[in-house]
Amino acid sequence: MRIGVLALQGAFREHRLMLESLGAETKEIRLPEHLDDLDGLIIPGGESTTVGKLAVEFGLMEQLRRLARSGFPMWGTCAGLILLAKDVGREQPLIGGLDIVVERNAFGRQVDSFETMLNVPALAEVSDTTPPVPFPGVFIRAPIVREAGPDVEVLARLEDGRIVAVRQGKLLGTAFHPELSGDERFHRYFLKLIHSAD
């Protein structure tokens, strides 16, 4: 299995290392031709406006939009979640695909970053325990999902009810950074999602 990791900015190396530890082949994506022969794509964190502008500049954006519309497996973490949203309340280049409204930087500045344990029942598919043990959510200038459409499955919420992980078909979005958590289960979940029947 070959998974692309958009490598324009952000924690793409950490995603690659976690995927490779699970036996997946990885490929850094910077140009449209790099998108060939992939089984899935991760859009990592970073600064969503910058990543969007670079994707447009490098000729990637239209192809990424086509992939998202076609049902190709994609996972956005933090800024990647923002880029996969249909609406972020401001003008910026978006891939779209997820029927969600996202609020950027919902928790404040970098100094307001935090870690919290999240209950994610869907991870039972890739966990050794039932119910699965909570997942360590690492939030760094993180967004939240303000609204989710009827076809969007909510995978995780904070204790106050705010949505921080979603799935729609083979599109996955997390407001936090599983690649920084030391816990492989979300990466296992994405790999399983790629193989699942529609």
Cβ–Cβ contacts within 10 Å for residue 149, how many?
12
What pLDDT does residue 103 have? 94
Between CA 126 and CA 198, with CA 157 as vertex, the angle to 5 degrees is 45
What pLDDT does residue 62 have? 95
5's tokens: 């990791």
Domains along the sequence of the chain with CATH: 2-195 (3.40.50.880)
CA–CA gap between residue 175 and residue 79 (Å, rounded): 8
Contact 139, 113 (CB under 8 A): yes
DSSP 169: T
Long-range pairs for 54-57: beta carbons < 8 A, 24 or more residues apart: 54/8, 54/9, 55/6, 55/8, 55/83, 55/93, 55/95, 56/93
Residue 197 has pLDDT above 90, yes or no: no
Contact 176, 112 (CB under 8 A): no
CA–CA gap between residue 74 and residue 84 (Å, rounded): 9
Phi, psi dihedrals of residue 103, rounded to the nearest 5°: -105, 120
For residue range 123-179, what is the model confidence (pLDDT) as tens digits? 999 998 888 899 999 999 999 999 999 999 999 999 999 999 999 999 999 999 999
Contacts of 125 (CB under 8 A, 6+ apart): 189, 192
What pLDDT does residue 56 have? 94
What pLDDT does residue 84 have? 98
Catalytic residue annotation: 78, 177, 179
What pLDDT does residue 198 have? 54
What pLDDT does residue 110 have? 67
CA–CA gap between residue 21 and residue 124 (Å, rounded): 20
**Mean pLDDT (whole number) for 13-17:** 95
Residue 190 has pLDDT above 90, yes or no: yes
Interstrand relation of 98-103 and 114-118 (parallel, antiparallel or unpaired)? unpaired
**Mean pLDDT (whole number) for 2-7:** 96
For residue range 52-110, what is the model confidence (pLDDT) as tens digits? 999 999 999 999 999 999 999 999 999 999 999 999 988 899 999 999 999 998 887 76
Beta strands in 111-161 (DSSP E): 114-118, 135-139, 144-148, 153-157
**Mean pLDDT (whole number) for 33-58:** 93
Residue 10 has pLDDT above 80, yes or no: no
**Mean pLDDT (whole number) for 3-21:** 92
What pLDDT does residue 111 have? 62
